[in-house]
Chain A
Amino acid sequence: MKRLVILGGGTAGTMIANKLRAALGKHELHITVVDRDDAHHYQPGYLFMPFGIYNTSDIVRSRHKFISDGVDLVLTEIDRVDPAYRVVHLADGRTLSYDVLVIATGVTPRPDATPGMQGKLWGEKVHEFYSLPGAQALTDAMRRFRGGRLVVHITEMPIKCPVAPMEFTFLADDWLRKHGIRERTEVVYVTPLDGAFTKPVASRELATALTDRQITLETDFAVESIDNDAAELVSFDGRRIGFDLLVTVPLNMGADYIARSELGDELNLVPCDQHTMVSLAHPEIYVLGDAGTLQTSKAGSVAHFAVDVFVHNFLAEYRGEPATHGFDGHANCFIESGNRKGMLLDFNYTTEPFTGNFPLPVVGPFKLLKETHLNHLGKLAFRWIYWNMLLPGRPIPMIPTNMSLAGKRVEKEVSAEATGLPSIGAPSSPPPPRPAAPAAKPKLEGRSAPARPKAAPLAKPKGAATPSQAKPKPAPSGGYVDRPGVDSTADPATVLPNPIIPKF
């Protein structure tokens, strides 16, 4: 009998446990889920609390109620994972051995990572809504707010639910209007990105939505600290933005046991294959939900689609068949835009969000990147779907695991090459090899001051035993490739005499 240990009983962990329990008997697969407590939070609901739309009872349920009978649920903190011995050490001293480990402990907000965020204004004028206590405190702050400057701020990407700060801004605008204080309030949206969103078409549509609401957009803002005396956000390049109410999204990081286990990168995210979610360092460890490094949104819809792929492949391998499914990065996100309307984004690794209809061409019924009442209803309906269909592992009608282009108004084909992520043309192919170590392995010559994670983030490449067997790197980001030789092999007649200089 195989032993599967799932770290994290949130969206991804619960779905995996339930789907695999339904597929395999207890004598075939022993499943253990580990989480620190028995409170399962519907995290998308935090957004609605400050506006009095949801309260705590809409958001929190008991974890064990949503995890099938026949799954062991262990409630304690995780101390560390020891991949060499395939064992998880729990904080209470117990150990759990595994054949396959799923890391699904997500990311959490870390307000302590930004100097001054938890200063004297924390909970007074400085708030966040990425935790239940944070959303509760902000609910009171919104009720007390009498106008001035409201600043909505993202500390650093990636964050889970990357559209949530934008949704908060739209909902706040609507809420301020309804309370008659919008005219007395300046709303500023501050982002470390160079636009309203990461992808061009969505960025354009969302920037328009901000402009329409007289919301100021401040881009490229890398926050250095929060000045509590002046009540100002301070950036590394010296900009200062004063606020009467700051709603920030703190740095998001993976769990601390991942750092203790030397499994993560500088944000405690576990590097994993983009299509199979297998850890790049340990083939018996999978990373689902927000905990990994998938180059797509950290969102429940992504967790759902990726879990489908993982479960299919897990069962195939269990039966001794090849794992044939590959995840395409599919994300499907409703964006609440206020006034009982919403927008919808649907995209994957290689196709940015476009306008159009979803899931069916012409008839929709949902409109992509356009504000409609039906999109808003879709967003609200999702809470019911989450508790009643998603977590129990029931299929959600109409929405395919892999993204479809049907109904989308494609503005500019973004090829797999352009984004640097291989398409899933050959689904049976194994995970792409890690870059082989060059013969003369360059040393990381950083300063010695901070402790540098040892092997974990720079894990030894798999399948690249010796430099002589070294293969070229897999196509990494931006269509960036290794070329043999130093100069371009382009036809000299086509070479442009003057360099192209990027705009900074």
Chain B
Amino acid sequence: MPTTLIAGRPIDVNDEGFLVAYDQWDEKLGGELARLIGLELTDAHWAVIRFLRADYSLRSETATLRRASTVGGFPIKELFELFPGKPAKKMSYISGLPKPKGCV
């Protein structure tokens, strides 16, 4: 499992670059992770990220887009606008959480 410097701090990540420890993340790091993938975070982004972090702390599982929509109240269309392309993957990356489980 590699460790990389992000925002000047050593951070443990997996081979794909996702954080592997919930507590190594803070909001400053979140901002840097967003910058690395070309996103500048607005209040709208932060509302989603804070929801994902809080939801994870209760369930040990990253919210899917559907959960962010039905439980968090963020319309899926808006998540696609905020995190274009692959919103579920981008949201979890920036929030320092695992990718939502690919279903089986």
Contact = CB atoms under 8 A, between A and B. Distances in A.
Interface in B71-102: 71-74, 76-77, 80, 84-86, 89-90, 93, 97-99, 101-102
B86 A495 contact: no
Q: Give the interface SS of chain B, mostly helix, strand, loop or mixed.
A: mixed
Given A435-B60, A500-B17, A477 B101 contact: yes
B50 to A, nearest CB: 5
A220 B71 contact: no
B56 to A, nearest CB: 8
Interface in A442-494: 442-450, 452-453, 457-458, 473-474, 476-488, 490, 492, 494
A331 B73 CA distance: 35
Contact of B89 (A236, A297, A504): A504
B104 A458 contact: no
Contacts of A434: 60
B50 A445 contact: yes
Contacts of A237: 80, 84-85
A445 B37 CA distance: 25
Given A483-B23, A496-B2, A499-B5, A156 B54 contact: no
B54 A442 contact: yes
A150 B97 CA distance: 38
B22 A442 contact: no
Q: Give the interface SS of chain A, mostly helix, strand, loop or mixed.
A: loop
Contact of B3 (A157, A473, A488): A488
A481 B21 contact: yes
B104 to A, nearest CB: 5
A296 to B, nearest CB: 5
Given A237-B84, A496-B3, A222 B54 contact: no
A487 B80 contact: no
Q: What size tier do the contact residues of chain B reach?
A: 35 or more
B51 A499 contact: no
Contacts of B84: 237
Given A157-B103, A435-B60, A480 B22 contact: yes
A422 to B, nearest CB: 12
Interface string B5-23: 1100111111111111111
A474 B4 contact: no
B17 A499 contact: yes
A60 B3 CA distance: 56
A198 B12 contact: no
B46 to A, nearest CB: 10
A121 interface: no
Given A446-B72, A501-B37, A473 B13 contact: no
Residue among B20, B47, B53, B85 having the largest count of chain A Cβ atoms under 10 Å? B20
Contacts of A265: 67
Contacts of A156: 66
Given A444-B51, A480-B97, A497-B5, A266 B57 contact: no
Interface in A72-95: none
Contact of A220 (B17, B86, B93): B86
A478 B2 CA distance: 14
Residue among B37, B90, B104 having the largest count of chain A Cβ atoms under 10 Å? B104
Contacts of A123: none
Given A476-B60, A479-B14, A488-B12, A444 B55 contact: yes
Nearest to A460: B58
Contact of B103 (A198, A331, A437): A198
A420 interface: yes
A502 interface: yes
Interface in A262-277: 265-267, 271
B11 A476 contact: no
B5 A267 contact: no
A496 B86 contact: no
Lowest 8 A-B CB distances belong to which pairs? A447-B73, A157-B103, A446-B72, A478-B98, A500-B17, A490-B3, A476-B60, A442-B54
Interface of A: 156-159, 162, 193-194, 198-199, 220, 222, 224, 236-237, 265-267, 271, 295-297, 331, 420, 434-435, 437-438, 442-450, 452-453, 457-458, 473-474, 476-488, 490, 492, 494-504
19 contacts: A158-B104, A222-B76, A222-B80, A236-B77, A267-B66, A435-B57, A435-B60, A474-B60, A478-B18, A478-B20, A478-B99, A480-B19, A482-B22, A486-B23, A488-B9, A495-B5, A496-B3, A498-B5, A500-B4
Interface of B: 1-6, 9-24, 26, 36-37, 47, 50-51, 53-55, 57-62, 64-74, 76-77, 80, 84-86, 89-90, 93, 97-99, 101-104
Given A199-B104, A499-B4, 12 more contacts: A158-B104, A193-B103, A420-B98, A438-B57, A443-B54, A444-B58, A447-B47, A477-B62, A481-B20, A486-B24, A490-B12, A498-B4
